[in-house]
Structure 1
């Protein structure tokens, strides 16, 4: 999926279905899908799902679990979630692009790999320090209320 097709849908089930199908529109009557183009792996959606509907995806964390200017590694899901600025959440692969180790921490504005010392910036996962030469790939998340979901 290219970066132009990545969107954050904040209107509950209809939006989640559209995202899973790769559509940019919702055909369900009465369901208003609000789309907000973002950079890959990013979301700033904070609206809650309508009563009776649950957002699609695996729950990773609460928004309060992710520090502003930092992040948290979810090793089991192989994803790292960051909050570069207040209310802006991003997700990236937790697999280092150097030799495939799993990053193990987020500190001082970087996502750190324990194997060879590569560091990636929390804002966009670009390389801050090698030996890695490629950024961490983005992952898609959705923020619903105070819940962060891996989609």
Structure 2
């Protein structure tokens, strides 16, 4: 069957259109880092993360549902980071020791300071204030 307006075989028209859509979509999806306004997505305000002792001294813990990573460099010091990957806004899938891993595209981050250890992400995980209040670990997201 041919396209009545151009005389081109219908299969050629459809295949060309599909290729154009796929190429455009792939280039758009992979060409940019996550916009700054999306990096810190997740629940807003004070977020109760529970027992501060759940974060190991010298390590970090992922709170995936809350989209927060908390590290604990010293017994009384807690530091928070967004757990939203800066490559394409997937939520980090695991933290081992002080390394955060995003399974979507393989990015790895230093969970203590947010630095990128392995791309495709090139932007660090942004900080989120955390502290202990009333015996609970609390993250605050504006």
CA distance in 2, matches of 1:134, 1:110: 15
- More helix, by proportion: 2
TM-score (normalizing by structure 1): 0.57
How many residues are aligned here? 96
Which has more radius of gyration?
Answer: 2
Find the counterpart in structure 2 of residue 65 from structure 1: 54
Give the 3-state SS of the residue equivalent to 2:138 in structure 1.
strand
Q: Which ranges in structure 2 are unaligned for 5 or more consecutive residues?
A: 1-44
SS of residue paired to 1:111: strand
Tell me, what secondary structure is at the counterpart of 1:67?
coil
Q: Is the 8 A contact 1:69 1:122 kept in 2?
A: no
Deviation for aligned residue 1:118: 1.1
Q: Deviations over 1:10-49 (max 9, x none)?
A: xxxxxxxxxxxxxxxxxxxxxxxxxxxxxxxxxxxxxxxx
TM alignment of 1:115-130, pairs within 5 A: 115-130=104-119
Distance 1:116 1:66 in 2: 26
CA RMSD of aligned residues (A): 1.8
| Corresponding residue SS for 1:64 | helix
> Helix, strand or coil for the counterpart of 1:76?
coil
Matched residue, 2:68: 79
- In the alignment, is residue 133 of structure 1 matched against residue 105 of structure 2? no
TM-score, normalised to structure 2, is 0.60
1:95 aligns with 2:84: yes
**Runs of 4+ residues deviating >3 angstroms:** none
CA distance in 1, matches of 2:53, 2:89: 29
Q: Deviation at 1:59? A: 1.3
Task: Give the Å deviation of 1:145.
Answer: 5.5
User: In structure 1, what is the equivalent of residue 138 of structure 2?
Assistant: 149
Q: Which residue of 2 aligns with 1:39?
A: none
